[in-house]
């Protein structure tokens, strides 16, 4: 199939929406990463998402909406805390997990009785959902296991010929996927960290837990990005932890190069000139972790383009958006780590 590239003009959005109405799948920009959308109430269309991505069928999808009133089409109940979060953080990078109505297809929820819902903070995404006239089930628009896409070029790199179209809205801003917050239990629980931090949530609703399965990946996932390998480069990535990380990475790079490897280092602007690796990529500034989040997936893809077969990565404080950054880095590295 030919994958059509759309611009953000009204006519192009209408054409992309028409594809969605006909049961096709279309990539589109959000403020986090690019999503791969299909009519959330069309099980056959949703199946095309799984086929295009090579995504496991027990991995649930997030449903994107353009209006708060659409929540009632998807959820049986909205607790007071969830309503507060919608008022404070929507539109924005927060997915709220609620008990779902029976009309939501089982392949959207991976057979669970809950559904994740979010309203993206991106004008093109909202226009597309509105024009399609239906909520859109939309995981990230990449092949399963690959780094999530933050540009239309990334989408086409992974999915050209496998999807009907992609709307090019430029680079995403946040860069890591939405926070997933589960309201189906007694205490609100973060299933996946993202652009809305635990600290921000606790200011609004009080106690917020973190699901122990976030790192273990054991059991049936209630959120995307939990159970399976994600965000990985083609080369083998290792995280280097500890106070002597610069010296340790320098030693590791030298030894790996002597062994014949093409070596990459993932760092930040503050240290970009400190390493003599074959490929040194700064994903942002350590002084502002939001820039690291925004640049992380593009940086990981750059190692693939540079044919790095071994990558050493610096680590970051797990506060604020740093929790999401480290969650993605650990999965990209398959939890491989070296202490300095």
The CATH code of the domain that includes 205 is 3.90.870.10
Residue 230 forms part of a structural domain: no
Domain boundary among 157, 187, 216: 216
Query: Is residue 55 marked as binding?
Result: yes
pLDDT grade, residue 332 (50/70/90)? very high
For the cut 80, the answer to whether the pLDDT of residue 234 exceeds it is: yes
Q: Decide if 312 contacts 322 (C-beta within 8 A).
A: no
Give residue 34's domain range.
Answer: 4-216
Please tell me whether residue 129 adopts helix, strand or coil conformation: helix
- Residue 216: the pLDDT is 57
Same domain assignment for residues 261 and 197: no
Which pairing describes strands 189-192 and 179-182: parallel, antiparallel, or unpaired?
A: antiparallel
Query: Is residue 106 marked as binding?
Result: no
The CATH code of the domain that includes 335 is 3.40.50.11030
Query: Is residue 223 marked as binding?
Result: no
- Residue 56: the pLDDT is 85
CA dist 269 and 291 (Å) reads: 10
* Paired tokens of 258: 């002597």
Same domain assignment for residues 29 and 122: yes
Same domain assignment for residues 197 and 252: no
Query: Is residue 142 marked as binding?
Result: no
Task: List, in order, residues 6 or more apart from 103 with CB less than 8 Å away.
Answer: 41, 73
pLDDT by residue (tens digit) across 146-194?
899 999 999 999 999 999 999 999 999 898 999 999 999 889 999 999 9
Residue 225 forms part of a structural domain: no
**DSSP H or E run through 134:** none
Query: Is residue 271 marked as binding?
Result: no
For the cut 60, the answer to whether the pLDDT of residue 217 exceeds it is: no
The string over 201-221, giving b where at least 16 C-beta atoms fall within 10 Å of a residue's C-beta and e elsewhere, is: beeebeebeebebbeeeeeeb
Q: Report the range of poorest mean pLDDT among 223-227, 237-241, 336-340.
A: 223-227
Same domain assignment for residues 59 and 146: yes
Task: Write the DSSP symbol of residue 140.
Answer: B
Query: How confident is the prediction for the chain on average, in pLDDT?
Result: 94
CA dist 244 and 60 (Å) reads: 40
Query: Is residue 59 marked as binding?
Result: yes
Query: Is residue 172 marked as binding?
Result: no
Report the percentage of the chain scoring pLDDT > 70: 95
Query: Is residue 192 marked as binding?
Result: yes
CA dist 156 and 148 (Å) reads: 12
For the cut 90, the answer to whether the pLDDT of residue 241 exceeds it is: yes
Phi, psi of 246 (to 5 degrees): -60, -50
Same domain assignment for residues 37 and 100: yes
Nearest to 293 by CA among 179, 155, 211: 179
Task: Write the DSSP symbol of residue 203.
Answer: H
Domain boundary among 216, 249, 282: 216
pLDDT by residue (tens digit) across 271-302?
999 999 999 999 999 999 999 999 999 999 99
CA dist 105 and 60 (Å) reads: 11
- Residue 170: the pLDDT is 96
Total domains, the chain: 2
- Residue 222: the pLDDT is 62
Query: Is residue 138 marked as binding?
Result: yes
């Amino acid at each position: 199939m030919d994958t059509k590239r759309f611009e953000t003009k009204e006519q192009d959005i209408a054409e992309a929406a028409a594809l969605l109405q006909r049961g096709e799948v279309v990539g589109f920009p959000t403020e986090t990463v690019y999503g791969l959308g299909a009519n959330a109430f069309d099980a056959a269309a949703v199946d095309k998402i799984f086929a295009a991505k090579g995504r496991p069928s027990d991995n649930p999808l997030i449903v994107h909406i353009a209006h708060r009133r659409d929540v009632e089409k998807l959820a049986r109940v909205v607790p007071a805390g969830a309503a507060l979060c919608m008022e404070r953080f929507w539109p924005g990078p927060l997915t709220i997990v609620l008990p779902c109505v029976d009309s939501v297809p089982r392949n959207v929820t991976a057979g669970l009785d809950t559904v994740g819902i979010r309203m993206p903070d991106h004008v093109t995404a909202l226009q597309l959902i509105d024009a399609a006239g239906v909520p859109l089930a939309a995981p990230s628009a990449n092949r399963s296991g690959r780094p999530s896409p933050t540009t239309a070029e990334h989408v086409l790199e992974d999915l050209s010929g496998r999807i009907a179209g992609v709307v090019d809205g430029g680079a995403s801003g946040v860069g890591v996927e939405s926070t997933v917050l589960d309201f189906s239990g007694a205490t609100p629980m973060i299933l996946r960290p993202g652009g809305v931090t635990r600290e921000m949530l606790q200011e609004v609703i009080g106690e917020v837990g973190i699901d122990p399965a976030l790192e273990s990946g054991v059991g049936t996932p209630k959120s995307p990005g939990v159970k399976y390998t994600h965000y990985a480069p083609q080369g083998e990535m290792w995280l280097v932890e500890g106070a002597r990380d610069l010296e340790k990475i320098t030693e590791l790079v030298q030894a790996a190069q002597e062994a014949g490897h093409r070596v990459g280092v993932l760092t930040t602007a503050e240290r970009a000139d400190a390493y003599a690796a074959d490929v040194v990529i700064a994903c942002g500034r350590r002084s502002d972790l939001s820039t690291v989040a925004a640049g992380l997936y593009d940086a990981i893809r750059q190692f693939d383009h540079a044919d790095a077969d071994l990558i050493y990565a610096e680590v970051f404080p797990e506060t604020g958006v740093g929790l999401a950054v480290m969650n993605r880095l650990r999965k990209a590295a398959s939890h491989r780590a070296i202490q300095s």
